[in-house]
Amino acid sequence: MIQIKHLQKSFGKLDVLLDVNLNIKCGEVISIIGPSGTGKSTFLRCLNLLEQPTGGSIVIDGEEVLNGHVNTSKLRQKMGMVFQSFNLFNHLSVLDNVCIGPVKLLGKTRAEAEAKGMELLKMVGMAEKAHAMPAELSGGQKQRAAIARCLSMDPEIILFDEPTSALDPTMVSEVLSVIRALARQGMTMAIVTHEMSFARDVSTRVVYMDEGVIYEEGTPQQIFDHPRRELTRIFVNRIRDFHYCFHSADYDRYELKAAWQNYCSKYFLSRQAVSETRRVSLSLFRLIPLDKGPVDMYFRYSEKTGELSLEILLPVGMESMLHKVENATHMQHVRALCRCIEESIEETDAGDRVRCRFVFRNLNR
C-alpha cells in the first residue's frame, strides 16, 4: 500500500531523518517506538506531507507522491491523522467537528453526514456528547472525538501521532481501547507511541526508530522480548547506563564517586543496592591491574525489570576474572550477591576485549 524508500528530512542544518525505508501493507498495525527526538513524529508527518520531505520517495498505491504532481488534499483525505494535542476545531460542536469534512470535502448532505457522524460517535462512545463544545470535554473524550472526526473521511490508513501522550494516566485506557477496536476491525494504522504494552499487544509489527533511521523492526515479540540490537535493548528494557573508563591506576577517585552518587540518586537506587554494588565493584577492581590498558566499567539498571548488572570490559590477555571470582574464598560475597556471572570475548574496532558480566540478585526491591 505504501512504500517508503530512503526518506530524508532535515530542518535547516539539523538532519532528522537520514534514510528511512518502510513498507506498510493493508491491514497492518505498525507501532513506531523510540527515544524522544529521533524523528518518529516527523516521519509520520512526512507521510501525509504536513512536512515536505527533503529526499527519498513515498509511493502510495503505485503512485509517487513526492514529485509535486499529486493532489495533496485528496491524498490527505485518504490518510487520517490523530494528533497528540487532539486539535478539535474549538468553534464547532463535537458533531460539527465530525461533519465538517464530509460536508465540505466529500459533498455529502448535512443529514447524511450527521447520520454517519452519530454512528461514528456512538462507536467511540461519544454520542451523548455530540452537541457539546470541545472546551467542555476531558482530554480522553477530545481524543476519541478526534478519532471519530478522522474516521468520518473514510480513510484508508490512520496515522496516530502519540495519541495518549497529552493525557492524564486515567484517560489513557479509554483512548487505547478505541484504537484497539479499530485494529480488530482491520484498519491500517501507523502509531507513534510510548505505551509499550499497548504497542506490544495491538500491533502486527513494531518499528524501533533511532539515529534517523529504522534501527530495528520485527514482530512485537522479537522487539520487546528478544531485541537483537544494543540500542533497542536499552530502549525496550529502559536500561540506564553508568559508564566509567579507567585509563590508568591513578584515576580520579573523587570524580568517579561523585558521578556514581549522582547516578544512584537520579534513578532512585535503594540504599542496599548502592552499598552492595559498591562492595562488589571494589572487590572486583582489586583483581584488575589498571595499568595494562583501558578498562571500561558499565553499570546497568533496567527500569523495566529492576535488573542490576555490572559489566567490565578488559583487554584480552589478562587473567580470567571469572576463574578468580569463582575460586577465591574472599570473593564469596560476590558470588552470593550475583545470580549470574558470565565472560565473553567481544570484537571491537580497537581489538578484542573480554566482557565480564555480573548480574545482581534483586537488590532494588
Partner 1 sequence: MNKCFQIAATLVAFLFIAVMPAGAAGEADAATQTAQPASQGIACFEDLRGRVLAVPSSTVQDIYVEEHYPDIKLDRFDTEADMMLSLQQEKCDGAIMDDVICYALVRKTEGVTILPDSPVPPCQMGVVFGKHNAELCKQFNEFINHLKSTGELNQIMERWIKHFDTAEMPQLELPTSGTPIRVAMEPCTEPIVFIKNEKIAGFDAELIMRFSVYINRPVEIVEMEYDSLIASTTTGKADMAASGILITDERAESVLFSEPYYDSHSRVAVLTKNAHPSIVTSKEDEQNLGIWGSITRSFHRNIIEERRYMLLWDGLKVTVYISFCSALLGTVLGAFICYLRMCRFRVCRTIARVYIDIMRGTPVLVFLMIMCYVAFTKFDNTPVAIITFAMNFAAYVSEMFRTSISSIDKGQTEAGIALGFSPVRTFCYIVLPQAVQRVLPVYKGELISLIKNTSIVGYVAVADLTRASYIIRGRTFDPFFPLLMVAAMYFLIAWLFALVLDRIGRKVC
Judge whether 273 and 328 are in contact, CB under 8 Å: no
Residue with cell 574472599: 330
Residues in contact with partner 1, shown as a per-residue x/- string from 270 to 299 under the rule CB under 8 A: ------------------------------
Q: How far is CA 239 from CA 236, 273, 347, in A?
A: 8, 16, 22
Residue 340 is placed in which grid cell?
549470574
Under the binding rule (CB under 8 A), the answer on residue 300 touching partner 1 is: no
Using CB under 8 A as the binding rule, the residues of this chain from 48 to 67 that contact partner 1 are 48, 50
CA 222, CA 205: separation in Å to the nearest integer?
9
Report, in Å, the least distance between residue 110 CB and partner 1.
15
Report, in Å, the least distance between residue 160 CB and partner 1.
12
Under the binding rule (CB under 8 A), the answer on residue 100 touching partner 1 is: yes
* Strand 213-218 relative to strand 338-348, pairing: unpaired
Under the binding rule (CB under 8 A), the answer on residue 11 touching partner 1 is: no
Nearer to partner 1, 54 or 77 (CB): 77
Nearer to partner 1, 79 or 312 (CB): 79
CA 54, CA 23: separation in Å to the nearest integer?
19
Report, in Å, the least distance between residue 189 CB and partner 1.
15
User: Of 139, 143, 192, which Cα lies nearest the Cα of 167?
Assistant: 139
Residue 112 is placed in which grid cell?
447524511
User: Of 39, 35, 36, 44, which Cα lies nearest the Cα of 4?
Assistant: 44
User: Of 135, 136, 124, 139, which Cα lies nearest the Cα of 171?
Assistant: 139
Element (H, E) at 322: helix 321-327
Q: Buried b / exposed e across 20-32, counting CB within 10 Å, b at 16+?
A: bebebeeebbbbb
Report, in Å, the least distance between residue 216 CB and partner 1.
29
Under the binding rule (CB under 8 A), the answer on residue 43 touching partner 1 is: no
Helix axes 110-123, 94-105, angle to 10 degrees: 130
- Give the binding range for partner 1 (CB under 8 A) out of 13-21, 31-39, 142-150, 216-224: 142-150
Residues in contact with partner 1, shown as a per-residue x/- string from 120 to 139 under the rule CB under 8 A: --------------------
Residues in contact with partner 1, shown as a per-residue x/- string from 103 to 122 under the rule CB under 8 A: -xx-----------------
Report, in Å, the least distance between residue 101 CB and partner 1.
5
Under the binding rule (CB under 8 A), the answer on residue 77 touching partner 1 is: yes
Using CB under 8 A as the binding rule, the residues of this chain from 153 to 182 that contact partner 1 are 153
Tell me which residues touch partner 1 (CB under 8 A). Answer: 48, 50, 73-74, 76-77, 79-81, 83, 85-91, 100-101, 104-105, 146, 149-150, 153
